[in-house]
Structure 1
Amino acid sequence: MHESKQSGETWIREILDGHESRCMINFRMSKMVFTSLLRVLETRYNLQTSKNISSSEMLGIFLYILGTGAKVSQCRERFQRSGSTISQNFAIVLEKVSRMATDLIAPEDPFFSSIPEQIRNDSRYMPHFKDCIGAIDGTHIAAILPPNEQIPYIGRKCIPTQNVMAVCDFNMCFTFVMAGWEGSAHDTRIFLDAIRDPKYKFPHPPNGKYYLVDSGYPKMKGYLRPYRGQRYHLPDFRRGRLVSGKEEIFNHSHSSLRSVIERTFCVLKEKWAILRDMPSYSFEKQTMIVVATMTIHNFIRKHVGRNDADFMEYEDINWAYENTIDLENTHG
């Protein structure tokens, strides 16, 4: 029964005409970004108003589910729509955002012709890391699967997960993602598949350039690992003795710079509650949702810069050093 006098369309309009904080709470972005995203989806990816529901309400339903983790039953009440209408329109917008991912999850400069400003303007990294173009790591997202399909997805987290490999630049934007691998799959296996199979269109480092990776990745040209057998993670340096020796000094700088991928994962998981409590969609749709959140993450970052509160919390490159949390927790 839908008895509220406030329709979903009316509520969306109230949010967009109201205080900025309401849009951030419900849709995880500013009013300006919501409007810009809607316009891009309409003009470039053919999101269309139907006779029964506007494109703005469709996007509102989609972002509300991603950002708050709301279930269909909660959305029925919030938007005064049937469960089937909620599900159908969520799927429509998910398909449009999945198409947008191809354009948005990619290097800003495919030739990597300039030094990232975060390196160029920091004497800790310049000139030693001037040819670094980003960082690579994996993270786990809980997966909802039938009991008879769970075993391959149960890894070190002891629950079913999908293992997601991502590459990011130093502006905290994702430039490549490979989602949907079983939680038991080793990061190296996923990495090698990504860089070797042309169908994934991995953004390979040009000659002389490289990505930062941790010590679990294979030693390969274009992928710079830390020294093994030495302290590496930033909390270890904070708790222990002063940095000493060229290998520890290198590891400290490497870890500090590579923390951008950890911080980017933190922003992603904090902003999109659905990643912390995935609904029981098909696994294919769960994988699409992960990529969709990364796509909108990039859209927000590129349109708002440093004015989004979630990014502001984690954008300081010293964040990982100043916080004593175990960075391994960001992998889960």
Structure 2
Amino acid sequence: MGLEDKRRMFIIHAAALVAGMYAFFLNRLRLAKPSRPQISYAPMSAMDEERQKNLDRIYNCNDVECVNMLRMRRAPFFRLCNLLRGRELLRDTIHSSVEEQVAMFLHVVGHNQRFRVIHQSWRRSVETVSRHFKEVLYAIGELRHEIIKAPSTETPLKIRNSSRWYPYFKDCVGAIDGTHIYARVPAKMQSAFRGRKHYTTQNVLAAVDFDLKFTYVLAGWEGSAHDATILADALEREDGLRVPEGKFYLVDAGYACRPGFLPPYRGTRYHLNEFGGRNYPTNPRELFNLRHSSLRVTVERAFGALKNRFRIIDNKPFHPFKTQVKLVLACCILHNWILGHGPDEVIPLESTWEPNSVNGHGVPVDDNAAWASFDLLEELEAAEVAAQAAIHAGGQAAAAAGGQGAAQPAAQAAPEAGAQAAAAAGGLAAGHGGAGQQPRAAMRWTNVMSAFVLRRFCELISTGVRTDKGFKEVHLNQVAKSVVEFSGLEVTGTQVYNHLRKWRQRWVRVIKLRELSGALWDDDNFMITLEDDHYKGHVQAHPKDAELLNKPIENYQQMEVIFGNGLATGKYVMGSSEPLGSPSDFADSENDHIKLDDMAGKGQPAGPLGSEGGNKRKRSMLSEGDILVMQGMTEAVNNVANAIIQTKVEDVHPDLYDAIMFMPGFTDEELMSAYEHLLGNKAHGTAFVKMNDSFLATRLMVLHLSR
């Protein structure tokens, strides 16, 4: 047996040894008894059957059940699943189809269900539900550009086919309004999210066409942010709201009249319920407001349909606030997708819609003109009550005062008249005891008095007064009393409140200026600094900002203490043109999930239903003896590998072929015979190459004769 044959047999024996050792080790593990009794669970097949029956009852039964559970009919549901599958935004896995993933997501957003509730009814782990939820949320967001589209420049059919609106509103492309949606935020952020509602909300702006489809959505602004601020933000964004040339949107009285936006007349009847019965319009302005309101009600119907369909945005959600913002945009995308397949019973009919009624939270929907001045509503209520009491008393002076008090909400809508209206309201509120008392004159605040007021509010906060819902009347009266003692002037709590609002507006300007490109902040002097050229250009365009730039900001520390946590900044705002996440958000846990499901599918015991899957480290199944056996087997395999490497036949000398085949005086057969002999004897071949030329021929002859 040659050396090559011996080497081949050695390799076979080594492989057999390694295979035997592995077989022995695996058999030992299989027969080893567990250290403690293991908990057994139901086989996966039974859970799969139960889950499949549940899915069949949901979307393979009828449209009624599908709408009740998934908030859409079967046709748009299956088309949505096929679209997401065809775009490779979602994929079928070994244990979960695209239909199940989408149905799981729709059930969560349609009924505001917790993941643990879905885990119990769908027989999936909480980790699986959470991962599929993120995947579907991202996939739906990728359809945003083709589902939320800009409005058409043609006259809508609803306007063109009605003599009530055509040709007066022929250039109208839709309506814009804001709506408050429940928000769950940490306690330290709640003051900024409390506005006109008694609970924390996010203020969502939306543009809707007359088919009830959203054409633009901006979500994530704090509930205390004003509609006009949110609209300005939408217009300033690169991918924000755009009004087609020569067209306009209908807006309510909370927005200013500007190119592209048409509000109603202020101080005139507007809402549809104000024209009920025989209360017909009595002048051209009321007629315009009636037509305007009957057309703008489209956006309210769209909001009503959205909240009725997806309960997650009409109740307190169970997700981080960033996810809450994404869910609003995803629900708007789904709303447009469903309407693309025809209206269903969730869409409120225009004939049965009751605008400006009490919403689902038991809070009346206020006039948007009053919304624009909601900061003064509590103070103005006292003035109105006093005015009404004076009217019933029959005094002429009291009636005049009542007229002034009733006109305050409308007057507040004009920025120039806002301060005077507030001062007048404050006078009425303070002097409501006497029917003929005249309104109090406007208060003149000095810098010393302003600094004193701010210091007193800071002292109240330092004593533990909570300001997440604003300062209460008792606190305003305390500060007013201190100002009276300090200055000797008569000051009311309402006047203190109005003055505090001015400083709040100043704080908003400071925050915006700090975010200017190229602006630097001096912590020592509390000063916003700009370079000379930048400063001159900015002040030329915004002269009022000169008092806050390149000079110490007056009372900055006090403003930070009072307003620092209650300012709407729009930090989490997202538009309908932005993606709802990225694939990396759920890519990390995918591999772990596949391993767990594969083990369960091969007959291994399933994990407990309450476990969250592959993020937890599993208990090791190897004992100390098994680990020692494994280490010994590893060493044996390494030794066998080293022995095989050492017995490997090395290559012959690279010059052996030339040294033999070009030797003169011999035939090719003789040279080839000698070459084959030296190939089998490495030592002879190496020595032959190193011989002198005079001995090569002799050596070759001896080799030939010996063979």
TM-score (norm 2): 0.44
Cross-structure match for 2:513: none
2:65 is the counterpart of 1:19: no
The runs of 4+ residues in structure 1 deviating greater than 4 Å are 1-6
Cross-structure match for 1:121: 161
Q: After alignment, is 241-250 or 251-260 more displaced?
A: 241-250
Match of 2:346, SS state, is helix
User: Which among 135, 155, 177 is matched to residue 175 of structure 2?
Assistant: 135
User: Which among 113, 132, 141 is matched to residue 70 of structure 1?
Assistant: 113
2:259 is the counterpart of 1:229: no
**Which letter does structure 2 place at the counterpart of 1:279?**
P
Counterparts of 1:298-317 in structure 2 under 5 Å? 298-303=336-341, 305-306=342-343, 308-311=344-347, 313-314=348-349, 316=350
TM-fit CA distance, 1:13: 3.0
Cross-structure match for 1:106: 149
Q: After alignment, is 245-254 or 276-285 more displaced?
A: 276-285
1:261-307 CA distances to partner (integer Å, 9 max, x unpaired)?
0000000000111112232211110000011111000000012x23x
1:85-123 CA distances to partner (integer Å, 9 max, x unpaired)?
1111111101111222233112253xx1x2101111111
- Measure the CA separation in 2 of the matches of 1:178 and 1:273: 19
Q: Is the 8 A contact 1:195 1:204 kept in 2?
A: no
Counterparts of 1:64-213 in structure 2 under 5 Å? 64-107=107-150, 109=152, 112=153, 114-198=154-238, 200-207=239-246, 209-213=247-251
Distance 1:45 1:294, change over 3 A: farther
Cross-structure match for 1:290: 328
What's the % identity of the aligned pairs?
A: 36
TM-fit CA distance, 1:167: 0.2
Distance 1:87 1:278, change over 3 A: farther
Q: Is the 8 A contact 1:72 1:83 kept in 2?
A: yes
Distance 1:145 1:267, change over 3 A: same
**Which letter does structure 2 place at the counterpart of 1:325?**
S
TM-fit CA distance, 1:74: 1.4
5+ residue gaps, structure 1: none
**Which letter does structure 2 place at the counterpart of 1:170?**
F
Match of 1:309, SS state, is coil
Q: Is the 8 A contact 1:45 1:99 kept in 2?
A: no
Give the structure with the higher percent helix.
2
Q: After alignment, is 48-57 or 261-270 more displaced?
A: 48-57
Number of residue-to-residue matches in the alignment: 321
Distance 1:277 1:79, change over 3 A: same
Q: Is the 8 A contact 1:142 1:276 kept in 2?
A: yes
Cross-structure match for 1:277: 315
Give the structure with the higher percent strand.
1
Q: Is the 8 A contact 1:8 1:57 kept in 2?
A: no
2:75 is the counterpart of 1:32: yes
TM-fit CA distance, 1:323: 6.3
Cross-structure match for 2:481: none
- Measure the CA separation in 2 of the matches of 1:253 and 1:17: 45
Q: Is the 8 A contact 1:9 1:57 kept in 2?
A: no
TM-fit CA distance, 1:6: 4.3
Distance 1:229 1:240, change over 3 A: farther
- Measure the CA separation in 1 of the matches of 2:296 and 2:88: 34
Distance 1:242 1:80, change over 3 A: same
Higher Rg = 2
5+ residue gaps, structure 2: 1-40, 372-707
- Measure the CA separation in 2 of the matches of 1:212 and 1:105: 19
**Which letter does structure 1 place at the counterpart of 2:143?**
M
**Which letter does structure 2 place at the counterpart of 1:267?**
A
- Measure the CA separation in 1 of the matches of 2:182 and 2:196: 12
Match of 2:87, SS state, is helix
Q: After alignment, is 66-75 or 175-184 more displaced?
A: 66-75
Distance 1:131 1:50, change over 3 A: same
Q: Is the 8 A contact 2:89 2:139 kept in 1?
A: yes
**Which letter does structure 2 place at the counterpart of 1:172?**
L
Cross-structure match for 2:365: 329
